[in-house]
A = this chain, B = another copy of it.
Amino acid sequence: MLLYNSAVSGNCYKVRLLLAQLGLEYQTVELSVVDRSNRADVLGELNPGLRVPTVVLDDGRPLAESNAILWYFGDGTPFAPEDPYERAQVLQWQFFEQYSHEPNIAVARFWLAYSGTPERFEARLPTRMQAGYAALDAMERHLASRTFFVGERYSLADISLYAYTHVAHEGGFELEPYPGIRTWLERVARQPGHIAIDA
């Protein structure tokens, strides 16, 4: 299996983390998240969104979108619930992650820490910060009385939300006011087979 990857992308890290915990082998092709000029050439036939992660299975079939890739490899393993309501809850948190969390926390992190031109994004940053904190508030409320996001067990939902939350400080987010999130981050990092984003 081939993973079109970026070492700094939290979306790619989700896939690397699950594959490590499942003990699955793969090769990577590294793409830049700054210079995207080759994306259509490299990913045009593989991923309509032209983004990483994109995987190509051993039989040549491509698959895109980090959370869809997690389900492909994670379904039928202990990382995906069997109960229909819990499965829908995992999806709920993954769609929350892609709609309310990633476009704010990951984008602020990219602008500030990886774009090389943070000054270009200064005017647009406050809106993203405010929406990013709203996402963290929602996570904190949920985690106040829970150990993991769904069913009191580590699942694909935790992998999806851990990816950019644990590096939110690189986007200027302060996690000190979020004790539930901080305890959950430590709990996720203690799971068997856990690897760091820069592993």
A→B interface (CB under 8 Å): 48-49, 57, 61, 63-69, 71-72, 75, 84-85, 87-89, 91-92, 94-96, 98-100, 102-103, 138-139, 141-142
Q: Do A92 and B75 form a contact, CB below 8 Å, given A49-B99, A49-B138, A99-B49?
A: no
Q: Which residues of B contact A87 (CB under 8 A)?
A: 71-72, 75
A166 to chain B, nearest CB (A): 19
- Minimum CB distance partner of A90 in chain B: B68
CA distance A95 to B49 in the complex (A): 10
Pair A84/B98 contact, Cβ less than 8 Å = no
Q: A49-B100, A98-B99 are in contact. Are A84 and B75 (CB under 8 A)?
A: yes
Closest Cβ of chain B to A183, distance in Å, is 18
In the complex, A95→B14 CA distance in Å?
15
Specify which of A61, A68, A95, A139 lies most central, judged by the most chain B CB atoms within 10 Å of its CB: A95
Contact between chains at A65 and B92 (CB < 8 Å): yes
Q: Which residues of the other chain, B, contact A138 by a CB distance below 8 angstroms? A: 48-49
Judge whether A96 and B49 touch: CB under 8 Å. yes
B contact residues around A100 at 8 Å (CB) = 48-49
CB-CB under 8 A from A95, the residues of chain B are: 65-68, 94-95, 98
Q: Are A72 and B85 in contact (CB under 8 A)?
A: yes
Minimal Cβ-Cβ distance residue in B for A69: B88
> Which residues of B sit under 8 angstroms from A88, Cβ to Cβ?
63, 68-69, 71-72
Q: Smallest CB–CB gap between A15 and chain B, Å?
A: 12
What residues of B have a CB within 8 angstroms of the CB of A66 in the complex? Answer: 95
Distance in Å: Cβ of A12 to nearest Cβ of chain B: 15
> Which chain B residue lies CB-closest to A59?
B85
With most chain B CB atoms within 10 A of its CB, the pick from A64, A69, A72, A92 is A92
Q: CB-CB < 8 A to A98: which residues of B?
A: 95, 98-99
Please pick, from B48, B69, B92, B99, the residue contacting A63 in the complex, using a CB distance under 8 A.
B92
